[in-house]
Protein backbone atom coordinates (compact mmCIF):
# COMPACT_ATOMS: atom_id res chain seq x y z
CA UNK A 1 0.00 0.00 0.00
CA UNK A 2 1.11 3.52 -0.61
CA UNK A 3 -0.53 6.80 0.17
CA UNK A 4 -0.95 9.44 -2.47
CA UNK A 5 -0.91 13.16 -1.77
CA UNK A 6 -4.71 13.22 -1.73
CA UNK A 7 -4.71 10.55 1.01
CA UNK A 8 -6.04 7.76 -1.20
CA UNK A 9 -4.49 4.33 -1.03
CA UNK A 10 -3.00 2.47 -3.92
CA UNK A 11 -2.22 -1.21 -3.64
CA UNK A 12 0.73 -2.68 -5.46
CA UNK A 13 1.76 -6.28 -5.85
CA UNK A 14 5.35 -5.82 -4.74
CA UNK A 15 7.64 -7.46 -2.27
CA UNK A 16 7.36 -5.99 1.23
CA UNK A 17 9.14 -2.67 1.55
CA UNK A 18 11.88 -2.05 4.08
CA UNK A 19 10.60 -0.53 7.31
CA UNK A 20 12.90 2.47 6.80
CA UNK A 21 11.21 3.12 3.44
CA UNK A 22 7.75 2.83 4.96
CA UNK A 23 8.58 5.15 7.84
CA UNK A 24 10.08 7.68 5.43
CA UNK A 25 6.96 7.59 3.23
CA UNK A 26 4.76 7.92 6.31
CA UNK A 27 6.78 10.95 7.43
CA UNK A 28 6.29 12.55 4.01
CA UNK A 29 2.53 12.12 4.29
CA UNK A 30 2.57 13.51 7.83
CA UNK A 31 4.52 16.58 6.67
CA UNK A 32 2.04 17.14 3.83
CA UNK A 33 -0.89 16.85 6.24
CA UNK A 34 0.74 19.20 8.74
CA UNK A 35 1.29 21.79 6.01
CA UNK A 36 -2.47 21.79 5.42
CA UNK A 37 -3.30 21.84 9.14
CA UNK A 38 -0.88 24.69 9.74
CA UNK A 39 -3.13 26.98 7.69
CA UNK A 40 -6.01 26.45 10.12
CA UNK A 41 -6.33 29.10 12.82
CA UNK A 42 -7.67 26.87 15.58
CA UNK A 43 -6.24 24.19 17.84
CA UNK A 44 -5.53 21.90 14.86
CA UNK A 45 -2.54 24.07 14.09
CA UNK A 46 -1.04 23.44 17.52
CA UNK A 47 -1.83 19.73 17.36
CA UNK A 48 -0.17 19.53 13.95
CA UNK A 49 3.15 20.49 15.56
CA UNK A 50 2.86 17.53 17.93
CA UNK A 51 1.94 15.27 15.02
CA UNK A 52 4.85 16.57 12.97
CA UNK A 53 7.34 15.80 15.76
CA UNK A 54 6.12 12.28 16.45
CA UNK A 55 5.37 11.37 12.83
CA UNK A 56 8.83 12.27 11.58
CA UNK A 57 10.59 10.80 14.60
CA UNK A 58 9.44 7.27 13.76
CA UNK A 59 11.67 7.04 10.72
CA UNK A 60 14.52 9.01 12.24
CA UNK A 61 14.79 6.51 15.09
CA UNK A 62 14.55 3.55 12.72
CA UNK A 63 17.41 5.05 10.70
CA UNK A 64 19.44 5.45 13.89
CA UNK A 65 18.69 1.83 14.75
CA UNK A 66 20.35 0.77 11.50
CA UNK A 67 23.66 2.04 12.92
CA UNK A 68 23.17 0.68 16.43
CA UNK A 69 26.32 -0.14 18.38
CA UNK A 70 24.79 -3.17 20.06
CA UNK A 71 21.63 -5.24 20.18
CA UNK A 72 20.53 -3.29 23.26
CA UNK A 73 21.08 -0.02 21.38
CA UNK A 74 19.09 -1.38 18.42
CA UNK A 75 16.21 -2.43 20.69
CA UNK A 76 16.28 0.96 22.41
CA UNK A 77 16.08 2.93 19.14
CA UNK A 78 13.33 0.69 17.81
CA UNK A 79 11.39 1.01 21.06
CA UNK A 80 11.54 4.80 20.82
CA UNK A 81 10.32 4.52 17.24
CA UNK A 82 7.44 2.31 18.38
CA UNK A 83 6.46 4.84 21.05
CA UNK A 84 6.53 7.63 18.46
CA UNK A 85 4.33 5.57 16.12
CA UNK A 86 1.77 5.05 18.89
CA UNK A 87 1.86 8.76 19.70
CA UNK A 88 1.37 9.58 16.02
CA UNK A 89 -1.73 7.39 15.93
CA UNK A 90 -3.07 9.26 18.96
CA UNK A 91 -2.56 12.71 17.38
CA UNK A 92 -4.09 11.58 14.10
CA UNK A 93 -7.16 10.20 15.88
CA UNK A 94 -7.50 13.34 17.98
CA UNK A 95 -7.31 15.64 14.96
CA UNK A 96 -9.71 13.38 13.05
CA UNK A 97 -12.15 13.59 15.96
CA UNK A 98 -12.19 17.38 15.80
CA UNK A 99 -13.61 17.35 12.28
CA UNK A 100 -15.77 14.26 11.73
CA UNK A 101 -16.71 15.46 8.23
CA UNK A 102 -13.09 14.90 7.15
CA UNK A 103 -12.57 11.66 9.10
CA UNK A 104 -11.95 9.61 5.96
CA UNK A 105 -8.98 11.79 5.09
CA UNK A 106 -7.13 10.56 8.19
CA UNK A 107 -8.02 6.87 8.05
CA UNK A 108 -5.30 5.81 5.55
CA UNK A 109 -2.63 7.54 7.64
CA UNK A 110 -3.93 5.99 10.84
CA UNK A 111 -3.95 2.57 9.18
CA UNK A 112 -0.39 2.98 7.88
CA UNK A 113 0.87 4.25 11.25
CA UNK A 114 -0.80 1.27 12.92
CA UNK A 115 0.76 -1.19 10.47
CA UNK A 116 4.18 0.44 10.94
CA UNK A 117 3.83 0.26 14.71
CA UNK A 118 2.94 -3.43 14.51
CA UNK A 119 5.96 -4.15 12.32
CA UNK A 120 8.26 -2.23 14.64
CA UNK A 121 6.75 -4.05 17.62
CA UNK A 122 7.57 -7.36 15.96
CA UNK A 123 11.10 -6.16 15.25
CA UNK A 124 11.54 -5.26 18.93
CA UNK A 125 10.20 -8.63 20.12
CA UNK A 126 12.41 -10.56 17.70
CA UNK A 127 15.49 -8.50 18.54
CA UNK A 128 14.96 -9.14 22.24
CA UNK A 129 14.72 -12.87 21.50
CA UNK A 130 17.92 -12.72 19.50
CA UNK A 131 16.38 -13.47 16.09
User: Above 60 in pLDDT, residue 13?
Assistant: no
Identify the helix (H) or strand (E) that includes residue 9: strand 9-10
Distance from C-alpha of 38 to C-alpha of 85, rounded to nearest angstrom: 21
Give the residues across from 2 on adjacent strands.
Answer: 10
Q: What is the dihedral of CA 122, 114, 63, 4, to 10 degrees?
A: 140
Q: Residue 48 in contact with residue 33, Cβ under 8 Å?
A: yes
Kindly report the pTM of this predicted structure. Answer: 0.84
Reported confidence tier of residue 15, pLDDT bands at 50, 70, 90? low
What residues does each domain of the chain span? Answer: 2-129
Residue 72, judged by CB atoms within 10 A of its CB (0-12, 13-18, 19+), counts as exposed
Give the pLDDT score at 131: 66
Mean pLDDT throughout 69-96? 96
Mean pLDDT throughout 16-24? 90
Give the pLDDT score at 1: 38
Domain 2-129 CATH class label? mainly alpha
Mean pLDDT throughout 55-59? 98
Amino acid sequence: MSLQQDGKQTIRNEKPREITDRTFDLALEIVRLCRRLERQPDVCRTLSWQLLRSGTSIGANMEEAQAAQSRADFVSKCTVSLKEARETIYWLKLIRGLDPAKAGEFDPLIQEADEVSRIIGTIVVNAKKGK
